[in-house]
Chains A and B, each alone.
Chain A
């Protein structure tokens, strides 16, 4: 149907975004294809290599899932702060990612966990690492006619912990000014691996590169400063009503430091 109607059709997930945009006459699609009619697309499943969240699973079901709370609590935490409870009961995980708003909460934690999405379309099925999924403001790697099927999140590395910190400058239910996710693996009191991702800063969420220098280092102020320098070189925040470029750059550093200190147990 997507192929037949082209730009006139849109797949409908939870509908929290698309229905509102249509009500506001911001977009118009003569055909909506109700993905809720496809059975099984809302399942949250344990797999041998991790957890798989169906694209139509609601935010609330992720937030409350015993499986996710136990295996990847950072994901349950990130989903628990989106909008309000009614939005979370309705909005779908896949619709949220496919909408690709730059202020989404889930991408930073999903990026540090190494998540992949699977998509299916007229040319078949494929998997896309999440770090290659976001292409721009409201733009993703999905091809015309493709829909998102699920998000696969691998097991967390042994001895690792992860945290997601979101910062709101307006009300608690608002989009974040920025969000910071960090995952740290420790061995014998030293850092083995650090992964960082930020959201809300620029057109797409960003997984920070070049953090290999933390390997086998002890986590002290010197190391954190080096990480912050690395972060500062890679981000290019855009100003919006929740914070200016200057402000976001400073707050990002505060929150990354806080995230690392929390993971290090200070």
Chain B
């Protein structure tokens, strides 16, 4: 069945007609052209399709779009302001924390969700939290280093406030 839903994507109110069977991933890519949201495993195991739903991490590949009516969605495109990158993106850039970069948006958003929940996670807590994001280039050492740098930037930013 077709239905019309309204929700917020990256701070903008949007309305769209969807099919009940559409996943959120399909709607974000096909309708809104948000290419940072990527399907890989299709079963919520890899983290490539990670988005933030009301600030919490979710796999958009197994969320029915019909269920996110009225909610707030953040994709990688919603981070940073204008041309300036978010500090997590800067950390990835500094540490060259990608190889093919397919998994990168998912990692960045997962780190954002972690730091929003716990501003000062231990290295171990970072590893545990990110254990559900897979990098098939196996660039984990670089990614974890970027996550640690991002955490330290978050600490510095919090100190300035």
**Complex: A23 Cα to B63 Cα, angstroms:** 11
Are A90 and B64 neighbours in the complex by a CB distance under 8 Å? no
Most buried by B among A36, A83, A90: A90
Most buried by B among A22, A36, A86: A86
Say whether, besides A36-B67, A173-B131, A84 and B45 are in contact (CB < 8 Å).
yes
Main secondary structure of the interface of A (DSSP, over half): helix
Asked whether B75 is an interface residue with its Cβ less than 8 Å from the other chain, the reply is no
Asked whether A87 is an interface residue with its Cβ less than 8 Å from the other chain, the reply is yes
Residues of A within 8 A of B50 (CB): 86
Residues of A within 8 A of B58 (CB): 86, 89-90
Asked whether A15 is an interface residue with its Cβ less than 8 Å from the other chain, the reply is yes
Whole-angstrom distance between the Cβ of A154 and the nearest chain B Cβ: 30
What mask results when residues 68 to 87 of chain A are scored 1 for a CB within 8 Å of chain B, else 0? 00000000000000011111
Say whether, besides A83-B44, A87-B44, A172 and B67 are in contact (CB < 8 Å).
no
Residues of B within 8 A of A84 (CB): 44-45, 47, 131-133
What mask results when residues 20 to 44 of chain A are scored 1 for a CB within 8 Å of chain B, else 0? 1011000000001010100000000
Asked whether A16 is an interface residue with its Cβ less than 8 Å from the other chain, the reply is yes
27 pairs, A vs B, C-beta closer than 8 Å: A15-B62, A15-B64, A15-B67, A19-B62, A19-B63, A19-B64, A20-B42, A20-B62, A23-B42, A23-B61, A34-B67, A36-B67, A84-B47, A85-B57, A85-B110, A85-B132, A86-B44, A86-B47, A86-B58, A86-B59, A86-B132, A87-B44, A87-B59, A87-B132, A90-B59, A172-B131, A173-B131
Chain B interface (Cβ within 8 Å of chain A)?
A: 20-21, 23, 42-45, 47, 50, 53, 56-59, 61-64, 67, 110, 113, 129, 131-133
Chain A interface (Cβ within 8 Å of chain B)?
A: 15-16, 19-20, 22-23, 32, 34, 36, 60, 83-87, 89-90, 172-173
Given contacts A23-B62, A86-B59, 8 further A-B contacts (CB under 8 A): A20-B42, A84-B132, A85-B113, A86-B50, A87-B44, A90-B44, A90-B63, A173-B45
